[in-house]
């Protein structure tokens, strides 16, 4: 953009110099030409006026006579000298004097110069500026329209932040049209399941994509499955890192009991991953921790297969077993409370296996609808955090290779409803390089600030190349949008006239002055017509456009196809599951006993038999 600006300035300077040069030449030649014409008239009468219609003929005749009489200049009478040489010389001198007098205006004159705007130069983008912003692509992301079917399309991976109050048409104007237009992979936060209902058929049948709906809390079990533990790395070091990320999201850093329970959770998950016969799921973690005698069972694990499990699993479980009974009870209670979500058979079933692999989003075109109804958002927040954390991790672990030709769009409707998502707050600064595009939809600035505070909101604003706003629903958002649009220089007129008897028109005066005015005042942002929106683009003028309403456009209505079928999951019942064969111990050993409880100072108590 800087190079383009420098090129434009250079072209403007060249044009200015060229125009000023032409003006100077004209100022010199016109008086000279007039002098030549007057000279010929003075010598030969009115019949030579016809030569004025042909400058070349006039110049030819004058030069002929001037050269003819030049050898006889000394003998020529003074009136002939004046007519033949004096009048043209006077015309040339007049041109030089005129040029001298106009030297200052010519030096300051810049015909191709932006009008100086001391209070601001904000203006609405023209069609040319819209094209300079590269919003007339054939495919990409729809941002609005300027005519009935003149869509504004951005074919890049710059992020979008949309301010749209409830009921303002964000679904019918942005989410659904883009799901019927964007032809690459999508992960869509679909809290109403409306997007899956309207768009899944087209994306499956016409775009030939694999389409999934993950709705883990659906009362009828109508959902595909996703198990976060299926995607833990097999590399020992990376394995611990992957599990730690999950544990930190489910049991964040807090007080002592939660930290200790998170450590135990890490050990139990690593233990389940190491045993082929065990189910690798959060539901299995719950069943392990809620068994009849969890302390005894974990002691058996260490005694029988301790060398087969991950060293971190052994260390964390052993640290738990060495605690006093009361302390162990507190850790178990805290962990069970944090995993209460997976005690639900429906959620256990929809997280026991995986029907889709988010690591394939760039390798093949896929659409994943994350359907969680509003009444379940808060309850499922830990699970959703894990889902989106893994999704962003998979897509940003390495730069896209030759076998990953597709980009991924995260269509995050009602983004603040997910709670704080650190992966998006941090990742928005670098996702674009991995061909990951965020489309974040919020109601107003208060929503963002309430979750991410001022610094977080500014991070989303500054890293969103496209900022789109509908009519604002509060003053703070309206003020922000008005400031982002900018100010213009307006001319203000003031009329002065006598207060009582206005009998003297000469006493009336009109004064003009330049004042600052917002291109769009905050109250004008609030009262923006329902069918209009504003697009703010980095380094480009703001664009006032029309909204898209898919139900008013045949282009989109033709793409509405029947909904894709979703499988029904049976609630998980551990009683119907065959018990795995007992694991052979590594070496003959006696039946282990639970470790002796610790004293108040942490030392082991002596047994009575000792």
Nearest to 342 by CA among 217, 438, 236: 217
d(CA 520, CA 526): 10
Q: Answer yes or no: is pLDDT of 594 > 70.
A: no
Whole-number average pLDDT of the chain: 85
Rounded percentage of the chain residues whose pLDDT exceeds 70? 83
Q: What pLDDT band is residue 402 in, cutting at 50, 70 and 90?
A: very high
How is residue 117 written in tokens? 């705007």
Tens of pLDDT, residue by residue over 51-78, are: 556 666 767 767 777 777 677 666 777 7
Beta-carbon contacts of 506 under 8 Å, excluding residues fewer than 6 positions away, are: none
Tens of pLDDT, residue by residue over 238-256, are: 999 999 999 999 998 887 8
**Torsion on CA atoms 238, 385, 451, 475, rounded to nearest 10:** 130
Tens of pLDDT, residue by residue over 340-378, are: 999 999 999 999 999 999 999 999 999 999 999 999 999
Tens of pLDDT, residue by residue over 548-584, are: 999 999 999 999 999 999 999 988 776 665 444 444 4
Q: What pLDDT band is residue 501 in, cutting at 50, 70 and 90?
A: low
Rounded percentage of the chain residues whose pLDDT exceeds 90? 64
Q: What pLDDT band is residue 283 in, cutting at 50, 70 and 90?
A: very high
Sign of CA dihedral 309, 314, 316, 317: positive
How is residue 583 written in tokens? 């694991």
d(CA 300, CA 450): 48
The secondary structure of residue 110, as a DSSP letter, is: -
Are 343 and 379 in contact, with CB atoms under 8 Å apart?
no
* H or E segment and range at residue 512: strand 509-518
Provide φ and ψ at 366, rounded to 5°. Answer: -135, 155
């Amino acid at each position: 953009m800087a190079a383009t600006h420098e090129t434009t300035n250079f072209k403007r300077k060249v044009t200015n110099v060229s125009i000023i040069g032409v003006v100077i030449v004209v100022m010199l030649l016109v008086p000279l030409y007039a002098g030549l014409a007057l000279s010929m008239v003075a010598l030969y009468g009115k019949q030579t006026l016809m030569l004025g219609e042909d400058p070349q003929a006039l110049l030819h005749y004058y030069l002929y006579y001037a050269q003819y009489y030049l050898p006889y200049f000394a003998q020529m009478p003074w009136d002939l000298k004046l007519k033949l040489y004096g009048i043209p010389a006077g015309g040339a001198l007049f041109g030089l004097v005129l040029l001298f007098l106009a030297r200052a205006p010519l030096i300051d004159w810049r015909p191709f110069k932006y009008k100086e705007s001391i209070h601001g130069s904000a203006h609405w983008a023209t069609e040319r500026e819209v094209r300079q912003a590269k919003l007339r692509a054939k495919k990409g992301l729809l941002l609005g329209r300027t005519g009935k079917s003149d869509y504004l399309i951005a074919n890049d991976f710059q992020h979008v932040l949309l301010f749209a109050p409830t009921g303002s048409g964000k679904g019918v104007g942005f989410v659904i049209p883009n799901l019927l237009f964007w032809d690459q992979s999508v992960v869509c936060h679909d809290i109403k399941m409306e997007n899956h209902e309207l768009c899944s058929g087209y994306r499956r049948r016409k775009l030939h994509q694999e389409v999934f709906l993950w709705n883990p809390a659906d009362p009828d079990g109508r959902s595909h499955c996703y198990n976060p533990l299926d995607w833990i790395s097999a590399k020992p070091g990376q394995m611990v890192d992957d599990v730690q990320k999950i544990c930190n999201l489910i049991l964040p850093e807090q007080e002592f009991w939660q930290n200790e329970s998170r450590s135990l959770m890490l050990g139990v998950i690593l233990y389940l991953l190491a045993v082929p016969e065990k189910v690798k799921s959060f539901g299995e973690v719950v069943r392990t921790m809620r068994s009849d005698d969890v302390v005894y069972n974990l002691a058996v694990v260490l005694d029988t297969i301790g060398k087969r499990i991950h060293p971190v699993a052994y260390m964390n479980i052993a640290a738990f077993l060495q605690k006093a009974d009361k302390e162990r009870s507190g850790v178990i209670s805290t962990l069970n409370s944090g995993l209460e979500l997976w005690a639900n058979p429906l959620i256990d079933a929809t997280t026991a296996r995986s029907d889709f692999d988010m690591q394939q989003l760039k390798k093949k075109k896929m659409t994943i609808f994350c359907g969680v109804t509003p009444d379940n958002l808060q309850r499922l927040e830990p699970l959703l955090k894990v889902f989106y954390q893994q999704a962003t991790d998979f897509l940003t672990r390495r730069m896209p290779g030759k076998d990953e030709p597709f980009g991924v769009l995260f269509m995050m409707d009602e983004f603040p409803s997910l709670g704080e998502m650190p992966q998006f707050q941090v990742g928005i600064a670098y996702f674009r390089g991995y061909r990951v595009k965020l489309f974040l939809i919020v109601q107003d600035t208060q929503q963002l600030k309430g979750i991410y505070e001022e610094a977080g909101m500014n991070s989303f604003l500054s890293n969103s190349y496209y900022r789109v706003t509908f009519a604002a629903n509060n003053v703070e958002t309206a003020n922000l949008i008005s400031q982002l649009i900018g100010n213009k220089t307006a001319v203000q007129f003031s009329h002065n006239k006598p207060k009582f008897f206005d009998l003297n028109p000469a006493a009336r005066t009109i004064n003009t002055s330049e004042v600052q005015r917002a291109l769009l005042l905050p109250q004008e942002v609030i009262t923006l017509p329902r069918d209009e929106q504003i697009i703010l683009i980095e380094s480009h003028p703001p664009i006032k456009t029309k909204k898209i309403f898919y139900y008013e456009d045949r282009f989109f209505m033709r793409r509405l196809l029947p909904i894709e079928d979703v499988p029904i999951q049976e609630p998980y019942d551990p009683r119907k599951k065959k018990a795995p064969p007992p694991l052979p111990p590594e070496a003959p050993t006696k039946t282990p006993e639970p470790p002796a409880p610790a004293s108040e100072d942490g030392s082991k108590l002596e047994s009575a038999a000792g």
